[in-house]
Structure 1
Amino acid sequence: MASPIRMTGLNSGLDTESIVKALTSSYQNKVDKNKKAQTKLGWKQDAWKNINKKVYSLYSSLDSLRYSNSYKIKKATSSDTTKATVSASGTAFNGTQKLKILNTATSASMTGGQLAKGTSGSTTLAELGISSGSGKITLSMGKGENQKTVDISVNASTTVNQFVSQLQEAGLSANFDSTNGRIYLNSKESGSKGDFTLAGADSFGADALYALGLSYTSEGTSDLYSSYAKYAGGSEAQTRDNVTAALASYKTAKSDITENNASIANIRAAYTYANAITARDEAYKNSGLTSAQKDRYETALLASDDAIMTSDNKVYTKGQTDKDGNITYSYKDEDGNEKRILAKETGTDEQGKKSYAYYDQERQGDLATYKVGNVTYTATTNTDATVFKDDDGAEFTLGRDENDKLVLTMTKDSSGNSVSAEGAYKVDVTNVTAGSTPNYVTAAQANTSITSVADIKKNTEDLYLQNAGVTEADKDKALEKLRSVAGEARTIRDFENATEAVTVDTDETYTRAELKAAIDEAHANGNINDATQTFAEKLQVNREKVTNAQKIIDGNGVLASAASLAEGTPEYETAVDAIVSKVMNAASLSANQRQSEGIVHTAGEDAKIDLNGVTYTSESGNFSINGLNITALAKTEGDGITINTQTDTQGLYDKIKDFLSTYNDVINELTDVYNAESAKGYEPLTDDEKSAMSDKQVEKWEKKIKDSLLRRDTTLNSIMQTMANSMSSVYEVNGKKYSLASFGIKTKGILNSEANRQYAYHIDGDADDKDVASNVDKLMAAINDDPESVTSFMKQLVDGLYKNLDKKMKSTSLRSAYTVYNDKEMKSEYNSYTSQIKKWEDKLAAMEERYYKQFAKMESTLTKLQGSTSGLTGMMGR
């Protein structure tokens, strides 16, 4: 905080600044103490963030390792890697399979005929013999609804390079090689999907294509002309009618596919919905719970444990805690408006169930606030905004001072002691815009009954156990079955709340609403299966509609581009005109096709393989079949080649080793931090203290403190013990008990390990670990002998560690979700230090100002006294 320049002690000869500094030292000490504490807390937050990042990373990596698929590591080999390369996922079957490569994927290409000697990129069509006029060349790529047609405009002045550029813009790889005098074209996609055809859209276009050496008579070219010729009528007007009718059919087919696919999706979702209802009924069997109790329980199951619910089943999510210990809970209504409740826990009964009370209603509503720096001053009522309190509870009144400034004047300190008006601390809010606190709902608006979500679940489960007569021995299994309704409830609600995809409701399409109504009616009548049995017939109807619509689209691929445009627009009319023109020219152009001399065209072909007698095709040459990944490289002869698939024992070993390595890295770092050297007597330095030291000394000093911040921390120790205990757990597989030690995986213990490495695990026989490399490799032996047992044990071990860490990272009033330390509490404490520092700095400044004013008054008095004394001395000297 900057200090003003003062001229003091001129008359008294006193060192006023030193005196004032001494008189206010207690205030400065308070400032320094809070600053040091805040700095230390900030460093501690950083230390915890680093720890949390490591623990959360470990936690995240465990998720997939809890399931069998992570350990199903397969290895596939090809008998001839020049014909095909293979790999396998965990779902592939072990054994030998026969593979024939019938065809490899190729990209469509065209090498144009050789142009006249001396042709360059700047040569025009006129120079190539097309002296006058203009026209279009049609480039067609792909098939069906993915077919793309582009018309390339050319005229007598079009150069070779300009034409090549237009082909590139249309989506082909194109180049003119002036050395060889040829144009080279290649599809950017392999397989039949990338096949392309070039044809004249009119006689000028056909002549231009021939002159450029790119005229090719092929089945594809003839098909392209035929695809237009089929729309021909007796006149141009009739042809236009045929084209527009076909476009209408095309668009209807597109709509039919969309709507019927949406209907199919609805029916499939309805199956899931019906199954969820059936499973939910089974879970509630003999529960004795009412419909209202079930609804409330399901709502609670889908909510966070630290949320609260009102009596009308609205879930209010927990927010921040204010300085008085009141917690903000928020809820969004159907219109998206946020409603809030201020409540606080008022007690906990013997069963651990919590009770709540609403915040003082007089404090609800819009309360005026002023925020100055980091301090907020809030009105105590919403009716008379003249009395305010700061964040520490000190009381202020709002009014005008002698200079007509709007100020908050302290009347009581944070301890409730009255403050004298003379010299009272004041806050200028003249230029501060007044705000307001959130508008909290009243008890009546939100319903007066509040219950924690955790208690609702426990109350319901206790009632269920009582009604169903569940014994203590069967309690866990029964509760697991009951809690399974959470998943079913989520499925049911997802179906009910999903956005309707069917927009055109016909006799053949089925909306979610009508499917739900049918299922609910059948459920009410006790024959829900009857409803689902009719779904198969509905699915078949929708599938046939999709198939028929797809045939229309595939048969009218040349209309795809025009069909995507809005009818009546200039773009649509232009596209229709172009199609009509092509139709009118198609017959004569097809009959008069010419092929450029020396042109070579290679059609794009899909790769085709035969695996165990079944044929598969791929546009790219890559196949994924039942866990096998095959890349076709070259055709095979005769019986083809063989693929051998087996369990990758080394891969499974490495998977376990990688997990242990990750675990060791984390537990070692935690142990280092926990056992760090003490920094007793070290505290963060003030600016004055830093100025007396070198930068290296300051850095060393601060590092000493930072390294020790989590030394012997109880929370850290709890995390370490959770991890260590989880890893030492024993699990049963096929009636036999296993631990990590069963597979030669052990720690060295505190006596035999290096410092802070007592929790790290080592695998006997691991060649990379010199301390245990000579031991018998029990893990690899177990994997070779019984990989299923190893996998089953590891799944249970990792799942236990995952769940225990998950408990440590649950959200509470003191910490956020997925956090192992009390970050909320630390943040609140950090903010509290900010307020305290501001408060003591303000008090320090006020006291300094007060003392300086008193000394200034004394100096002024001395000046007057000296003047009087000088006058008296002068009179006596006459």
Structure 2
Amino acid sequence: MATINSLTSTSSSSNAYGSQSKAIGGLVSGLDTDTLIDGMTIATRSKIAKQKQSKTLLSWKTDAYRAISDKLVSFAQKYTSYTSSTNLTSESFYKKSVVSATGTNNKYVSVSGTAATGERLSLLGVKQLAKDASFTTTDTLSNNIIKTGAINYGDSDSCTITGKNLTVKYGSESYTLTMPEKEGGGVYTSAAEVAEGLTKAMEGVELSNGKKLSEVMSVTANGETLSFKNIDGVGNGLEITGGNADLMKILGITSGSSSLVNKSITDEGVDAVAAIDAEDLHANVSFAEKMKGKSLTFEYNGTKKTITFDDETKLDESKFMEYIQDELNSAFGKGRIQLTQDGEKRIQFETTVPGGGVDQSSILYITSGSTGVMGDGSVLGIRNGSSNKVNLDSTLAESGIKDVASVNLENGTEYEITINGESIKFTYEENKTTLRTIMSAINANEKAGVKISYQANSDSFSITSTQKGASGSVEIGKNGVLTDFEKLLFGKRNDDGTISNTINGNTVDGQDAIILVDFDGEGGAEAMEISRGTNSFSLNGLNIAVNGTFGYEKDELNELQYVEGTEAVKFDASVDTDKIVTAIKSMIDDYNELVEASNSAITEKRNRTYAPLTDEQKADMSESEIASWEEKAKSGMLYGDSDVTSLTNDLRYIFMNMGSNGFSLSDIGITVSSNWQENGKISLDETKLKSALAEDADSVKALFTEASTEGKLTTGGIMTRMKALTDKYAATTGATKGILVEKAGNSKSPTSLLSNRLQKQMDDIDKIISRLEDKLKTERTRYQKQFTQLETLMQKLNSQSSWLYDYSS
């Protein structure tokens, strides 16, 4: 038998009119209680739906107001804010900021900066230009050749693991290391040497965290077995994931069915699965086998060519040099690089002039090559980066500098170079000291006051004083005797392959620029000669640079004298016309957009056929249908709105009754449209505006910036009026904001988003909806109780009827 509480069954949902119940209905009476209750509460639910629609309309109207106020705020920030680079209300925006040099000699002078007093300044002549003291070697320094090592064209013992790769995974990243040539050349002979080679390879692999691979993994030899260890110390995973199959087998990383691949390398260390057999580390290989498929990359005067040795028929002594010569001729032209071979089978590369003769001006590099082809102990024995010019990073013996052998340099001995009386000392190490280390020591010595560089095209050293003009000097050596290092860098080369004690080069003394300047124009003080250590200097707020001399000639005593009547270089300041025109054009475009937006807002009628959708209506529609409906429903939100109408009228006043010092709007190219349909849009003739700026920039400025005499929109300059308008309708600061911000808020004034008139109306509606929903809940509860009582009574009546029937029977 059903209990009283089970006589009806309900569940809650909502529709357009508010909350409602869904139930099975009266189990005893058979009545559809939900439908009945919905009908009995329809008045309250209708009121809730109406209030929600009213709130939606207010929300849409808020968005419409903000769309217009956003444009006003953006306009104000762009054209009336003191932090904007296009602030058209600022008089400084129209100042004379472009300075130019005038006169027939203006080609010798360039100028920039501001001209507060610069217009009275003139340069009557430039007597001499400033020069920094300098020294440049004149004899070429290099031997102009690249030479290979002695080439073995026969069979030879070759390393089987050089140039082959291993892949190591550290964390989530994978890295490749390449087995290098053995230090000093030759083949690897033991696990210990292989471990050293792997360590060297890892030192050249940089990880994503900035560390080197050698800083997170160590490789050592345990007898003839390699041992790998994670030395990172931060818990990142480390493992060998792949590589050249032959290499992994020789190193014992794989052996039969055993493998170290993809196994975690721990901080306790992991041994390879097999020992290294020294016999596997080398093999007897022919020259052709060593060179087959390998490559060299040449760079000649900036143009690169990679030669890949893929024709095995030419990889022997009789054809190999011809093979390279043909490739270089094809790449760079015949007769430009000449190959020869000496008795020790060393190939020599020399730049030449087609038709004969050495070409000292061209630069040839061998920039890179396959592993095993370049480097110590390689097939060709050429260093990466080898050049026919001086190599700053090679040891002195291999640097390519001429006659280096004639300078008796002893390993471990301290040498010095004296420049400007300052002794620069360093210890010579034959396997370490390079020309770059010598040059770096010179440049680092501030007391010497010079910078040295090597010029590859002229094949010379150049020293320049760091002291400007006449203050600087470059004096090499002391007491007339050059030290060994001074000879090597700056000594004159003799024909017999020695270096003399004579300086090889030209010295230029430093001198100041001397300029004849008239500071205050005609009728003022006499012009005066000024000296400056550089050719660029500042005068009266102007940044001036001179690049040539004028106004002076030598007299009979060979002394420079000023030539009276020389046309002076004067300085003319003007406004930056392009900057101003661009800003005004942009402002007019934005103004017209404001006119269009505000007039469209008040003239677009609302389609009342499309009211805001109720929840029940939305439930029966697709998203695209809802979007299409609401697009129509949102139209005309501000139709005939008094505030926006007032804005459109005020916009028209901005360009009314404008004029200043004889200039009108039409004089500067601004025209208000006479077409009533355009609602006062304006157009700009850029040519007229540029002409007006050139004729009278101050009057143009006044048209835009003149102060308002009455504080009204109809007085003052264009931008003065526009600032008053944007403040009136869209001010985002102050106790009282702009009209549209007070009404609907704006994102540029965060507090206004929660405190504006439309938001207050929506808050009031929320309160009404809350009260109506409480009322609806009360009504539904009351009606539900009444139907429950009815069901209870019907149950009793049915029970009594059943009892009477049974009794009578």
**Could you say which TM-score interval applies, normalised by the shorter chain?**
0.3 to 0.5
Higher strand share: 2
Between structure 1 and structure 2, the one with the greater Rg is 2
TM-score, structure 1 normalization? 0.40
Indicate the structure whose relative CO is greater, using CA pairs within 8 Å and at least 6 residues apart: 1
TM-score, structure 2 normalization? 0.43
